[in-house]
Structure 1
Amino acid sequence: MASRQWNSYVAGLDKGKGLYFLFVKSETKTPGGLTARPVLTSYYKSEHFQSRPYDPYNVFTSPTAAILCADAFQSMYAQMLCGLLQRLDVLRVGTVFASGLLRAIRFLQLHWQELCNDIAAGALTPKVTDPSIRGAVAELLKPDTELARFVAAECSKGDWASIITRIWPNTKYLDVIVTGAMAQYIPTLEYYSGGLPMACTMYASSECFFGLNLKPMCDPSEVSYTIMPNMAYFEFLPHGGDGHVPGAGVDKAQLVDLADVEVGKEYELVITTYAGLNRYRVGDVLRVTGFHNAAPQFRFVRRKNVLLSIESDKTDEAELQKAVESASALLQPYNASVVEYTSHADTKAIPGHYVIYWELLAKDASPSAAEAVTRDGVLERCCLAMEEALNSVYRQSRVADGSIGPLEIRVVRGGTFEELMDYAISRGASINQYKVPRCVSLPPILELLDSRVVSAHFSPAPPKWSAHCAANQ
């Protein structure tokens, strides 16, 4: 959606700036020597972005040099500092995903004193060493003791409710994705923003641009995207199909064309793109909500088969099972094993982290055996082993981006998962068909599990990750 079209919904956006926290990720090389990187990294590094003409509706507070810096700390520090220096010009605050904006608020909580010192002195901290960032920030940074005192006063209160509108009082809305897995962050964003509207403007992925939200200021629960048929050739696999696409054992008749989808039904998105993807399964499950003229509109329901997600990471059941098996091997010398497990994406703290609930069985039931497992730090090593077994996107988020916290294993007492089954059956589940859910989110179930926790353990170090090893996966 062209920026100036926003004036139909929010007037005066050409009179101020957007405080957007934008970041590049590390590049990798494929075995064939091709550069591999996320689509937004490609865009930010492109000539199209770096030499973009002036557009009064699309002015950022963040210098391009800060956006292009691969060091997450230096990039965030510079973008936050420039946002504070231009706080009265800010009309909208945003990131790509909702989790990214919470990371920015957490960064402010941790570093406001250093930021205030820089503002008061008119000099950038030596911690930011990138010369292009230092040059760009120097053009804005002048001694301003009044601003420093104001920011310090707001941040030192210990009350972070409505902090966005307190520091950036002219903010009209948040520009963040809060659909799908990001919906879990809505209450926290409402707390920090004082209830500002949250605009979800577009639906896209690295493979293709899919559609637009023609009512961007609607409630997040009502967001629907209108598919743009000129972006690719779109087909839809009715959800509940056998998991294949034509050419892989399924007749073409299973696919539904764009014009033939039915309101209320769910489909998995399949695309053929100009770049050469042929009937590629994106992995998104969509529900048809209506039509705009002849173009169908879809609500994003979820990623297919994804159990855990904090940010851009997507861990499915097979990956989680592999990670549990890898970690539980460390218990064998202690004659212990994992009887049952489930998981939860804990986003109450920033950054969020994976929580894995384990019920253990010790073949040697003596207290000394259990004490040895705890005393020797085995469970902490199990946490790290799980992280090492997860995919490269997760590990990059842990190591390079800091957008995911250390994985946690919570050991529950014996019989907990039987209690979990009893609870499910009491709510109508069939005892013959009951299977332990590999991911849980309902508050009553989490309360049950947490009330049975006997010990909690965190990964003692980040997992191994490098751009080189990511390319070879």
Structure 2
Amino acid sequence: MSLSIDLSDDLSNGNLKVLDDLTSSVKQIQDDVLKEILTLNADIEYLHRFLHGSSDKDLFTTNVPVVTYEDLKPYIDRLANGEPSDILSALPICGFFLSSGTSGAKQQMLPQNDKYLENMRFVYDLRSLIISKHFEGVEQGKGMLFLFTRQDSTTSSSCLPATTVTTSFFKSKYFRDRPSYWYNSYTSPDEVIWCPDNKQSLYCHFLCGLVQRDDVVRLGAIFASVMIRAITFLETFWKELCSNIRSGQLSEWITDLSCRASVSIILGGPNPELADFIEHKCSQKSWEGILRQLWPNAKFIEGVFTGQIAQYIPTLDFYSNKLPLVTTSYGSSETFFGTSLNPLSKPQDVAYTFIPNIAYFEFSPVDKDNNNELVQLADVKLGYYYSPVVTTYSGLYRYKVDDILEVTGFHNNAPQFKFAQRKNVVLSIQTEATTEVNLLKAVTNAKLVLESSDFMLLDFTSYAEISSAPGHYVLYWELKTKNNGTSKLDDKVLVECCYVVEESLNAFYRKERTKDGSFGDQKKKKKHGSIGALEIRVVQNGTFDELMDFFVSRGGSITQYKTPVCIKSIEALAVLKHILLTAGRRR
């Protein structure tokens, strides 16, 4: 079948036959994708030394090495310095994607071309049809989605744009010329998304969404962390939003002219009745269920809720009165991978079906003796864990992505993967290695202690403090009262949270905390080990907004922002200086 799929006929007819065609012929489509990529690129500089002009699959799997970003960086730097695209790609390189830089690694710059954006549009088209099949009437309503772009930068010599995936897509023809059958008609005009000032953009997203509140059938953002940021922003600005709606006039600090003009049209004239309604709802002592109250016809919240983002689920449940959380697609700055075929899955059960015509996918088995032997997409095994290795149309060949995925099922012949974790250690003082999954589980357990109080955990990050001996873990927590009151956190609750976190970490950590390995055993005398007692430092409200602003100012995107599970930058750590309360359990 054709590798370039036009979904217009299928989508306009509500037909998912194209999905069955793609997922039934996985091996053949994957072979065709690799053949097309190699035929296009066999003579480029990078591949020629391995393939010598051949497009043979066996030669590719034998000779082309598995690489990381550091392996390709010299070639990418040459492209950025103005050398021609055929260093890495026969298709023209039209710019670079900047990774978020918040998942533990430094920000990376990856080559991109129109084929990536075409694939992204394809996935958006596909998931629109899938969601329309599961939520009746969603295509007749509008979505209040918090989507943003940032100003492009350019490389110093090539003058090619360097920006984030989402910025590139939202500014491209693939988004601007989106078809009428898309389910996602937005409450905000495109000018709001394109506004380079994130504060003005976020304010206008809310203004448009409130004025059209009865039309909103879905809420969301790319990542749940942005949705939390939006809610705290609303808590700060709802009075001003009501004032704008009451008067029919936009605040003077909204200075982006195209944004101002388009939003003024939607705002229309004065609407004191709506302003009074919003004021009544937002003045309540508790904001529990506020999203349902302001947008009563919303059927779900969409975004990514897997991996480290799962920490925000309880907070979203509180504010939305447990609206369904719909995880849509799985992608990265390297490539898109697939989409969820069951939007009604609980976040912990979400599996992504890989779409075989997007890129060529291989997999490195995790924790297996043969982890140097790659497995093709059609040959992965149920219950096994893998790291994806991708070959794309954008100049990446056998590029290893540091995600760990579990095979949980198949749709026809296409594997379905559950995101397990990022393959990185986030904290270490001595010989122990605390992963993202270890830490998230420990913090989740500590949240149960907080439930006995009036507080909930809004966001957190961590840091390995080694400037003094013994080194120890530090958790930075931003807390919020459930009733918008001024309750004081009991010190004993915070100390108990420290205890639960440490009890939940792995055996290597607990052993390093005590010389005799008796950590947690109340019958044994405790001896201080090589790791000091964990600290929780409670920061003032708004600190994690400042942390997001810091990363965005360094070239990140609010759309793709994920709070880092661990802080490794001294500059970022300085943002967390507003400490209200600390607790550490000493032995």
Matched pairs, number: 368
**Is the counterpart of residue 449 in structure 1 residue 534 in structure 2?**
yes
2:262 matched to 1:136? yes
**Residues 464 and 295 (structure 1 numbering): CA distance in 2 closer, same or farther, change over 3 Å?**
closer
For structure 1, the 5+ residue unaligned runs are: 243-250, 309-315, 322-342, 364-382, 384-409, 438-447
Q: Give the 5 Å matches for 1:135-284.
A: 135-141=261-267, 142-240=269-367, 254-284=373-403
Whole-Å separation in 2 of the counterparts to 1:455 and 1:211: 38
Rate the CA distance shift 1:361–1:53 in 2: closer, same or farther, 3 A: closer
SS at match of 1:236: strand
- How high is the sequence identity, in percent, across the aligned residues? 41
TM-score (normalizing by structure 2): 0.56
Partners of 2:517 and 2:352 lie apart in 1 by 35
1:291 to 392, 396, 410: 410
Match of 1:234, SS state, is strand
Written as runs of structure 1 = structure 2, the 5 A alignment for 1:88-127 is 88-127=214-253
Q: Does the alignment pair 1:421 with 2:513?
A: yes
Counterparts of 1:285-364 in structure 2, within 5 Å, are 285-305=404-424, 307=426, 352-356=459-463, 358=465, 361=468
1:396 match: none
Aligned equivalents of 1:138, 1:70: Cα separation in 2? 18
SS at match of 1:210: strand
Supply the distance in 1 between the matched residues of 2:257 and 2:189 (Cα, whole angstroms): 13
Alpha-carbon displacement from aligned partner over 1:125-147 (angstroms, at most 9, x marks no partner): 01100010110011111210011
Query: Could you tell me how far apart the structure 2 residues matched to 1:464 and 1:212 are?
Result: 28
Contact 1:99/1:185 (CA < 8 Å) preserved in 2?
A: yes
1:377 maps to none
CA contact 1:27–1:467 (8 Å) conserved in 2: no
Give the counterpart letter for 1:293 in structure 2. Answer: N
- Aligned partners of 2:551 and 2:149: how far apart in 1? 20
1:11 alignment partner, one of 126, 129, 136? 136
| Aligned equivalents of 2:262, 2:129: Cα separation in 1 | 27
Helix, strand or coil at the partner of 1:25? coil
User: Matches of residues 381-392 of structure 1 in structure 2 within 5 Å?
Assistant: none
Question: CA–CA distance in 2 between the matches of 1:344 and 1:284?
Answer: 21
Structure 1 window deviating more from structure 2 (56-65 vs 38-47): it is 56-65
**2:254 match: secondary structure:** coil
Contact in 2 for aligned 1:18/1:92 (Cα 8 Å): yes
Distance between the aligned counterparts of 1:105 and 1:76, measured in 2? 10
The Cα offsets for residues 98-126 of structure 1, whole Å up to 9 and x where unpaired, read as: 01111111111000000000000000001
AA aligned opposite 2:235: Q
Q: Per-residue deviation at 1:306?
A: 5.4
Whether 2:203 is the aligned partner of 1:77: answer yes
Structure 2 distance, partners of 1:58, 1:143, is 28
* Distance change >3 Å, CA 97–CA 466, structure 1 → 2: closer
Match of 1:52 among 166, 175, 178: 178
Q: 1:66 to 1:145 in 2, by over 3 A?
A: same
Q: TM-score, normalised by structure 1?
A: 0.68
Q: After superposition, where does 1:28-43 map in structure 2 within 5 Å?
A: 28-33=153-158, 34-43=160-169
Secondary structure of residue in 2 paired with 1:103? helix
Aligned partner of residue 415 in structure 2, secondary structure: strand
Q: Indicate if the aligned counterparts of 2:364 and 2:371 stay in contact, CA closer than 8 A.
A: no
Q: Which amino acid aligns with 1:275?
A: S
3-state SS of 2:184 partner = coil
Aligned mates of 1:45, 1:289 — CA distance in 2:
36
Q: Secondary structure of 2:149's partner?
A: coil
- 1:354 is aligned with what amino acid? T
5+ residue gaps in structure 2? 1-125, 434-441, 448-455, 475-494, 503-508, 558-587
Q: Check whether the contact 2:305–2:347 (CA below 8 A) recurs between aligned residues.
A: yes
Taking CA–CA contacts closer than 8 Å with sequence separation of 6 or more, which of the two structures ends up with the larger relative contact order? 2
Shift of 1:84: 0.3
Letter of the aligned partner of 2:146 in structure 1?
Answer: F
Corresponding letter in the other structure for 1:231: I
1:288-322, CA deviations, whole angstroms, 9 ceiling, x for partnerless residues? Answer: 111111111110011110528xxxxxxx99xxx9x
State the AA in 2 paired with 1:30. T
Q: Given residue 211 of structure 1, which amino acid in structure 2 is its aligned partner? A: G
Give the Cα–Cα distance (whole angstroms) in 2 for the partners of residues 183 and 106 of structure 1. Answer: 18
Residues 1:143 and 1:274: Cα distance change in structure 2 (over 3 Å): same
Letter in 1 for 2:356: P
Counterparts of 2:408 and 2:230, CA distance in 1: 33
